[in-house]
Each structure stands twice: as structure tokens, then as C-alpha cells.
């Protein structure tokens, strides 16, 4: 009887919201369509490597997931060193997502890429519905709710990039953020609206628990929500709405109490000896300068009209708090003097929330029902057309690179025969494929700079790659000065040097990049000192005696992957104990017996 009752309620729910469910499902299909298209377009050349590219971000999050499946902690998902250190992201998302797999005993048969895309498809589908129900709670109208939901997910690039069909995959297809963090955020907003409208204690408790969970999911989510809570509380106090203010105090206090463990871990990490290094590589900037948001300003203008026309709207405090919290998040550094990669706030929260509240406000402002109907139907169509066109353009813009990655499948299959954890020194452009598709670690990936590793580890990796490159091996200083002066050189070697120089410069990341762009004379002078010091360390580490082989032995390198198509400048003649195991299309896998 309970099962039948549940099924009947589910059927009634789907029927009642059938248009929202159908369009959410269709939009989700468009977002993940590139996954289905790649095997069909590549046909016989397809070898099962299928990851929608977002720089190295998707590969990095997949590597973290693979690390949990392999039974490891997340202190260092990319290299062997530091695995028992604290997770620099202080996030438990991967553990939550992969606990069902582990409980079912499926860790050995689960493909992390397939699993994460199943999660992603379901996550984006439910995210669109969560936004729909949030706006439906506020407006009571299904059309504007559907329009706001599909445009926030399918049309955000129009607002962010100010263009249709921008050649960049829809970000909600990325692993695993922003869809996981957004699911938590919009669950919170839905429950908060219910809490503010109801006197039931259970709504407030659930809302507080969701807020507390944010501290264990994603740094930017809880900091944005904290700014929102404080702003909304202040608005309620100004309006002398003490009942609502008490609700916000309860929700915020309980949430902060639940999140206090991770807050403490974060501050201890930032205050540690490793803190300054992690701050730099996580792009922490210093200063009190304000940040202006065009979309935030436009939303403020719409809000001014909305307040003038609809000042008795019961949702006005909530709308105001959402808009103002974006400004607080972007400009809290005016007081604190610190800002951690503010683009996350803008891209993941401010843009979609600005779309959502703007749609709600415009719907309330306009009085011509026929015009409103056709306007928001048009906006729904634009979101779908933009998603389809953008995904199509993005797919073909990376098709050549996706096709090339298939060449690594034979090497991956060979490496998977070795079940014992090993270390792979690899061609850098594709190295994270090995941490996704095999149980092994890398000798180096610059994503490791985001973890708790000694700075010397970063330099040692740079020295090894400098030695492999026959152009820099015995010409270390001159080669670095040469590539740093060449604006057309964008190799990983140059970016690796910048990782070192940027931290040693004493500037924050953004200040350092600005100095590079302006060819700052003080930085150029300091570069000579840094290169000279690195050259001395390089000579001592790898050029003296059997240094290169000792360094590879120190870091436990078992395999070496050389892609001669990408790195024809490599010279392996001095690497002792190399044995070729297999090759494919001029890509070679060697074992390394030191």
C-alpha cells in the first residue's frame, strides 16, 4: 500500500509538472550530447576515452574520484607524495558520491568516468528542477519558473560571454562542480523559502542542516551563502521583521556549528607553514580594491524598478539579499584585504542567480499577460538554441584533440595489467589520463601545486623535465630566459617555470601575472637572480654524477611515457634501466628499473 501510494504521488507530481520535467530532461540531454556524439563521430578510431574537456579541471576531479575508489585519501590525488596529508580542498563530495559504490563492493568494476557522468546527468536534471521549484514558490507561475530554470543553466553563457553559441562547453557538464555545489545551494534556497513562510520547526532544522553540509562540499558555496544569510538577516532587522530575523539567526547558528570542524581545519591550514604556498597556487590575491560586476549592476537597475513598482512584494527582502550578497562576495576584500579567485562567485552563483531573480522581477513588473507569455516562451527557446549551438561548436573545436587522446588507450590497457601502485613520468599534455584510467600516480602534474607538498618537490619536477629536454639540458639559464622573452611560446615548460618564479617573486598570483603582461622591470631583474639560483640547484641535482637517475629513483618512477609527436625534443639516452614495453602511433611506454 505504501509503495502504491508513493507511485501514485510520483505520477501525479510528474503529470502536474510535466512541462518542467520534460524540458529539464531535454536540456540535460543537450548538455551531455557530446558524450554520445564522440564515439559515433570517431567511429573505429574511438578507443573509449571520453571526457568533456574543461582544461584539466574535469580530469583533476575524476582523478580525485579514482583516488577514493582505489581506497586512498585525497591529500595528493596526482602524485605519490603527500597522500596522508589533509585534503587542500577540505571537501568530502567524492566520499559521499562514491560511498554507495564501495558499500556495494563495486569498486573494482566501476569506471569512474561513466559513473561520474551518470551522476552528472542526474544532478543537472534535478538542479534545473530545483531552480524551477524555487521560482515557483516565489511566483506561483509555472511559465516564468521554467524559463528562469532553463535559462540559468542553458543561457548563462549568453550573459557571461555576451554572445550566442559561445565555443565553450556548458559548464554544468563538468565534473563535479558546479552541479554538486549548486544542488546544495538551491536545496537550501528552496527550504529557506519554506522556512520563512512556515512556523514548522522541521523546515528550519532541514535548512540549517543543508547550510551546515555546505562547509564540507565547496568553499565558495558556503562563503557565498554566509554572505547571503548575513545580508538577509540585516534586511529583516532593518524592516523590524523580528520573527524572520530569529529564523535566520537559528538557521545560521546551527549551520555554523555543524560546519565549525571544517572551518577550523581551513583556518589552521591557512595559518600553517604551507599556507602561503597554498594561498599562492589557489590564486589568493591581496588588496582592498573594489570589483565591479556588470551583470550585478544591471540586476540592481531592474531591482530599482521592481522596488518602485512592487514595493509590497512579499519576496522583496529575499530578492534584495540575493542581489546584494553577490556584491558582498565580490567585494569583501575591501574589509578583509583578501580575495580567493573571485571568478568562482561570479560564474557559479552571481550569473545564474542574477538571471533567476531578474526573470522573477521582470515577470512581476510587466502587466501585459500576452506579452509576458510570448516573451518567456521566446527566452526558453533561446536557452535551448544557445545550448544546442554552443555544444555543437564546442564539440568540433576540440574534436581533433579528443581524437588524438584515443592513441593512449593501448598504453593505458598495458599499465592496467600492473595492479600495484606505480609512478609514471609522462608527456605532460595528457598526463592526467593516467590518474583517471589507471590506479597509478604521476611523477608530476602542475595540479599537484594545489596540494600539501613541499616547494622543493615542485622544483625537482621542473629539473627533471629540464633535463629530458635536450635544448635546455646543458643550457638551463639561457633557455629559460629565452622562452620567457618569447610571447609565442606557451609550452608546459614555460608555465612550470612561472609556477616557481611566481611564488618566489613574493607577489600574489594576479599581481605576478600583471607584472608579466607589463614586462615589469623589477620582475625582469629578479628573474635573473631566480634563474641563477635555480641553475645552481639544477646542476647539483641532476648534472652532478648520476643525479638524474637518483632523482627518478627518489620519487619512485616505474614507467615513462614519451609522446614523440608532442615532445620530439626529449632525449632519454642517459636514463638508466629503460625497457620499451609497447608503443602506438609514435607514443612509447617504457619500464624503468633503477
With bands split at pLDDT 50, 70 and 90, how would you rate the model's confidence at 594? low
Half-sphere exposure of 21 (CA within 13 A, CB side): 9
C-alpha distance from residue 368 to each of 117, 139, 140, 299 (Å): 42, 16, 17, 21
Report for 74-88, 292-306, 332-346: range of highest mean pLDDT: 292-306
18 Ramachandran zone, left/alpha/beta (phi>0; psi -120 to 50): alpha
Q: For residue 429, is pLDDT > 90? A: no
Cα(592)–Cα(428) distance, integer angstroms: 18
Helix (H, G, I), strand (E, B) or coil at 210: helix
Q: Are strands 587-592 and 559-563 parallel, antiparallel or unpaired?
A: antiparallel
Query: pLDDT, tens digit, for every residue of 248-297?
Result: 999 999 999 999 999 998 888 777 778 889 899 998 888 898 999 999 99
Q: At 1, is the pLDDT very low, low, confident or very high (cuts 50, 70, 90)?
A: confident
pLDDT the model gives residue 490: 84
424, 427, 455, 429: which is closest to 440 by C-alpha?
Answer: 424
* 277 Cβ contact list (under 8 Å, min separation 6): 455, 503
Alpha carbon 519 to chain centroid distance? 30
Task: Give the SS3 label for residue 379.
Answer: helix
Alpha helices in 486-586 (DSSP H): 492-504, 509-517, 521-538, 547-554
| Burial classification of residue 462, based on how many CB atoms lie within 10 Å of its CB (0-12 exposed, 13-18 middle, 19 or more buried) | buried
**By the 8 A CB rule, do 398 and 53 touch?**
yes
Mean pLDDT, rounded, for 157-167: 88
> CA-to-CA distance for 563 and 584, rounded, in angstroms?
9
pLDDT band at residue 428 using 50, 70 and 90 as cut-offs: confident
Distance CA 214, CA 225 (A): 9
- Indicate the angle between helix axes 521-538 and 455-468, nearest 10 degrees: 80
Q: What is the pLDDT of residues 529-579, one digit of tens each?
A: 999 999 999 999 999 989 999 999 999 999 999 999 999 999 999 999 999
Which of 170, 173, 183, 197 lies closest to 130, judged by CA? 183
Query: Does position 187 have pLDDT exceeding 70, yes or no?
Result: yes
Distance (Å, rounded) from C-alpha 277 to C-alpha 82?
Answer: 15
Cis peptide leading into residue 178 (ω within 30°):
yes
The predicted model gives 502-519 an average pLDDT of 93
User: 360 near 146, Cβ under 8 Å?
Assistant: no
Q: Where are the alpha helices (DSSP H) in 438-518?
A: 455-468, 476-485, 492-504, 509-517
**192-205 per-residue burial string, b: 16 or more CB within 10 A, e: under 16:** bbbbbeeeeeebbe
pLDDT score of 479: 95
- Kindly state the DSSP code that residue 430 receives in the 8-state scheme: G
Cα–Cα distance for residue pair 231/316, rounded to 1 Å: 13
Please give the Cα distance from 272 to 268 (Å, whole number): 6
Residue 590 has pLDDT above 80, yes or no: yes
Mean pLDDT of 118-145: 98
Grid cell for residue 359:
526573470
Kindly state the cell numbers that stand for 16.
Answer: 502536474
Backbone φ/ψ region at 94: left (φ over 0), alpha (ψ -120 to 50), beta: alpha
What local confidence, expressed as pLDDT, does residue 481 receive?
95
Which grid cell sits at 105?
563492493
* 255 and 206 Cβ atoms separated by less than 8 Å: no
Whether 466 contacts 483, CB under 8 Å: no
Percent of the chain with pLDDT over 70: 100
CA distances from 212 to 126, 221, 397, 531 (A): 21, 11, 41, 47
How high does pLDDT run on average in the chain? 94
Angstrom distance (rounded) from CA 11 to CA 16: 8
Whole-angstrom distance, CA of residue 300 vs CA of residue 350: 12
Amino acid at each position: 500500500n505504501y509503495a502504491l501510494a508513493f507511485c501514485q504521488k510520483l505520477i501525479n507530481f510528474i503529470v502536474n509538472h510535466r512541462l518542467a520535467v520534460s524540458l529539464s530532461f531535454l536540456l540535460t540531454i543537450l548538455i551531455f550530447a557530446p558524450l554520445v556524439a564522440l564515439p559515433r563521430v570517431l567511429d573505429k578510431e574511438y578507443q573509449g576515452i571520453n571526457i568533456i574537456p574543461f582544461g584539466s579541471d574535469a580530469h583533476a576531479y575524476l582523478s580525485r574520484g579514482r583516488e577514493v575508489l582505489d581506497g586512498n585519501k585525497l591529500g595528493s590525488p596526482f602524485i605519490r607524495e603527500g597522500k596522508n596529508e589533509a585534503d587542500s580542498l577540505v571537501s568530502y563530495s567524492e566520499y559521499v558520491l562514491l560511498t554507495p559504490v564501495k558499500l556495494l563492493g563495486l569498486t573494482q568494476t566501476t569506471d569512474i568516468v561513466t559513473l561520474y557522468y551518470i551522476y552528472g546527468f542526474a544532478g543537472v536534471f534535478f538542479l534545473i528542477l530545483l531552480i524551477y521549484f524555487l521560482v515557483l514558490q516565489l511566483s506561483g507561475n509555472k511559465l516564468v519558473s521554467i524559463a528562469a530554470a532553463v535559462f540559468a543553466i542553458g543561457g548563462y553563457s549568453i550573459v557571461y560571454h555576451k554572445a550566442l553559441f559561445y565555443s565553450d562547453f556548458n559548464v554544468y557538464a563538468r565534473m563535479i562542480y558546479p552541479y554538486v555545489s549548486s544542488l546544495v545551494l538551491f536545496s537550501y534556497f528552496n527550504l529557506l523559502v519554506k522556512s520563512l513562510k512556515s512556523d514548522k520547526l522541521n523546515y528550519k532544522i532541514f535548512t540549517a542542516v543543508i547550510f551546515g553540509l555546505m562547509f564540507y562540499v565547496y568553499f565558495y558555496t558556503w562563503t557565498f551563502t554566509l554572505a547571503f544569510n548575513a545580508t538577509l538577516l540585516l534586511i529583516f532587522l532593518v524592516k523590524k521583521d523580528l520573527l524572520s530575523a530569529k529564523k535566520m539567526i537559528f538557521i545560521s547558528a546551527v549551520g555554523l556549528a555543524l560546519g565549525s570542524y571544517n572551518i577550523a581545519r581551513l583556518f589552521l591550514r591557512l595559518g600553517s607553514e604551507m599556507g602561503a604556498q597554498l594561498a599562492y597556487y589557489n590564486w589568493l590575491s591581496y588588496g582592498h580594491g573594489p570589483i565591479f560586476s556588470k551583470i550585478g549592476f544591471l540586476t540592481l537597475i531592474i531591482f530599482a524598478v521592481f522596488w518602485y513598482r512592487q514595493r509590497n512584494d512579499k519576496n522583496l527582502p529575499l530578492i534584495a539579499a540575493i542581489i546584494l550578497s553577490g556584491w558582498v562576495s565580490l567585494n569583501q576584500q575591501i574589509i578583509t584585504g583578501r580575495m580567493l579567485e573571485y571568478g568562482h562567485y561570479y560564474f557559479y552563483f552571481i550569473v545564474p542567480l542574477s538571471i533567476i531573480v531578474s526573470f522573477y522581477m521582470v515577470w512581476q513588473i510587466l502587466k501585459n499577460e500576452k506579452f509576458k507569455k510570448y516573451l518567456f516562451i521566446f527566452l526558453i527557446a533561446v536557452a535551448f538554441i544557445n545550448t544546442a549551438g554552443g555544444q555543437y561548436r564546442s564539440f568540433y573545436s576540440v574534436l581533433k584533440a579528443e581524437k588524438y587522446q584515443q592513441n593512449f588507450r593501448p598504453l593505458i590497457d598495458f599499465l592496467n595489467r600492473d595492479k600495484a601502485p606505480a609512478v609514471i613520468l609522462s608527456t605532460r599534455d595528457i598526463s592526467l589520463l593516467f590518474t583517471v584510467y589507471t590506479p597509478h600516480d604521476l611523477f608530476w602534474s602542475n595540479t599537484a601545486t594545489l596540494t600539501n607538498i613541499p616547494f622543493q618537490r615542485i622544483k625537482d619536477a621542473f629539473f627533471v623535465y629540464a633535463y629530458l629536454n635536450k635544448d635546455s639540458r646543458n643550457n638551463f639559464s639561457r633557455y629559460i630566459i629565452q622562452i620567457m622573452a618569447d610571447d609565442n611560446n606557451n609550452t608546459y615548460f614555460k608555465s612550470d617555470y612561472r609556477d616557481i618564479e611566481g611564488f618566489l617573486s613574493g607577489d600574489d598570483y594576479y599581481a605576478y601575472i600583471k607584472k608579466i603582461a607589463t614586462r615589469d622591470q623589477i620582475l625582469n631583474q629578479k628573474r635573473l637572480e631566480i634563474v641563477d639560483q635555480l641553475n645552481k640547484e639544477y646542476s647539483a641535482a641532476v648534472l652532478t654524477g648520476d643525479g638524474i637517475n637518483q632523482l627518478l629513483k627518489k620519487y619512485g618512477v616505474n614507467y615513462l611515457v614519451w609522446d614523440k609527436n608532442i615532445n620530439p625534443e626529449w632525449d632519454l639516452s642517459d636514463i638508466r634501466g629503460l625497457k620499451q614495453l609497447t608503443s602506438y602511433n609514435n607514443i612509447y611506454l617504457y619500464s624503468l628499473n633503477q
